[in-house]
Structure 1
Amino acid sequence: MKKEVSIFERPEKLAGYETEQYLTYCGNLSWYDLVTAVPSLVFVVTGWKSNGKENACLHSWSSFMGSGIDNFICVLGKVNKGGHMYQSLKETGVCVLNFPSKDIYDHCIKTIGNNEFEADEITASGLTAEKASKVNAPQIKECFLNIECEYLWEQELFEGSKDVVIGLKAVNICMDSEHYDQTKLGRYGKNGFMFYVDQPTNPETGEITTINYGTLEPGEPVEWITK
């Protein structure tokens, strides 16, 4: 049975905290983030800070699409204007999107804690920084896919929002051959793309199911019969 879930009616507490406090602590989330728990790709955005140090930001809430033969567009769905990643991107106009498999995810998580302005954030998290081929930015050697990007545009999520949507254009891709061969490690399955699963929550009870991340298992092809 389907039930309507109001954006305004929510449990008083989540995970033992006041709901508003919990959503703010988790990254300025909406109640609907947890109700829908829509998964999105996990990757690390890397660039140079103005002091020449590596910047690395574990990121999600984004989408990727081709628009014409020569245009592959990456839309970063939520970027805080007060963060190092936004500052780096606006100063340099470039970045790299680095896609990890789960064997290095614990190191990627450490980029959250190693985010001081004076830190080399990739190296401090136990990962290896290397130069990208086409843009002036570092990339993560251990990630199986690196997408080098140039800045295109930005737009506030809503008027007065401290978060923006940013459009990027891919100018180069580097992928591990074991991953682009689906008969080997592949892009999908336990060794492929990772998806952030945002704490699926029961809207009636406030009970949270802790998942954190998931991987995608490819299914059997479905014939496209449109009529």
Structure 2
Amino acid sequence: MKKKIAVFDRPEKLAGYEIEQYMAYCGNLSWYDFVTGMPSVVFVVTGWKSNGKENACLHSWSSFMGSGIDNFICILGKVNKDGHMYQSLKETKVCVLNFPSNDIYDRCAKTIGHNQFETDEITASGLTVEKAEKVNAPQIKECFLNIECDYLWEQELFEGSKEVAIGLRAVNISMDSEHYDQTKLGRYGKDGYLFYVDQPTNPETGEITPFGPGILAQGNPIPWITE
């Protein structure tokens, strides 16, 4: 039996905190983020701050799609207009999306704490800086996939939102050969893409199930028959 869950139909507390306080602490989330537990691929957005220091932002809530053979579009689904990443994108019009495997995820997470304006955020987190090939931005050497991007557009999530969606176009991709060969490390499984999951929550009790980061496991192939 399905339960209908209104956006205001929620418990008073999550993880021992007032629910509004907890969602704000987690990144200005919605109650529905926790109800759905929707996965989204994890990556680090890198660029230069206006003072020449490295900017690195652990990111999710985004999507990727082709639109014609020459256009691979990356939509950053949620970018805070007060953050360094937004400022860097507006000033330089470029960035790199860096995709970590599980063995370096702990270092990528440290970019959250090393986010001061005067800090080289990649280096301070124990990661190695490389120069991107096509855009004027730093990238992370340890990440198995780097997507260099040009800025296209932005749009508020809703009128008056403090966050925007940003459209990017990929102009160059670098991928570790051990990862693009699925018979070796591959793009998927324990050594491939990581997925962020807003902690799955029981909408009736508010009980949270710790989870993450997720990985993509092989399913059973299904014949592509549409009739």
- TM-score (norm: length of structure 2): 0.99
Letter in 2 for 1:87: Q
Letter in 1 for 2:150: E
Map of 1:52 onto structure 2: 52
Map of 2:8 onto structure 1: 8
Question: Which is worse superposed, 206-215 or 38-47?
Answer: 206-215
- Is there any run of 5+ residues in structure 2 with no aligned partner, and where? none
Q: Secondary structure at the match of 1:213?
A: coil
Cα distance in structure 2, aligned partners of 1:220 and 1:184: 20
Cα distance in structure 2, aligned partners of 1:221 and 1:201: 30
Cα distance in structure 1, aligned partners of 2:210 and 2:66: 33
- TM-score (norm: length of structure 1): 0.99
Q: Secondary structure at the match of 1:215?
A: coil
Map of 1:119 onto structure 2: 119
Q: Secondary structure at the match of 1:24?
A: helix
- Is there any run of 5+ residues in structure 1 with no aligned partner, and where? none
Q: How far does residue 219 in structure 1 lie from its aligned partner after superposition?
A: 1.8
Q: How far does residue 212 in structure 1 lie from its aligned partner after superposition?
A: 2.8
Map of 1:154 onto structure 2: 154
Cα distance in structure 2, aligned partners of 1:99 and 1:59: 10
Cα RMSD (Å) of the superposition? 0.5
Cα distance in structure 1, aligned partners of 2:188 and 2:217: 6
Q: Secondary structure at the match of 1:173?
A: strand
Moved over 3 A (4+): none
After TM superposition, list the pairs within 5 Å mapping 1:69-148 onto structure 2.
69-148=69-148
The one-character-per-residue Cα deviations of 1:7-66 (angstroms, maximum 9, x if unpaired) are 011101100000111111111000000000100000000000000000000000000000
Letter in 1 for 2:111: T
Cα distance in structure 2, aligned partners of 1:126 and 1:159: 39
Identity of aligned residues (%): 81
The one-character-per-residue Cα deviations of 1:98-131 (angstroms, maximum 9, x if unpaired) are 0000000000000000000000000000000010
Cα distance in structure 1, aligned partners of 2:166 and 2:157: 10
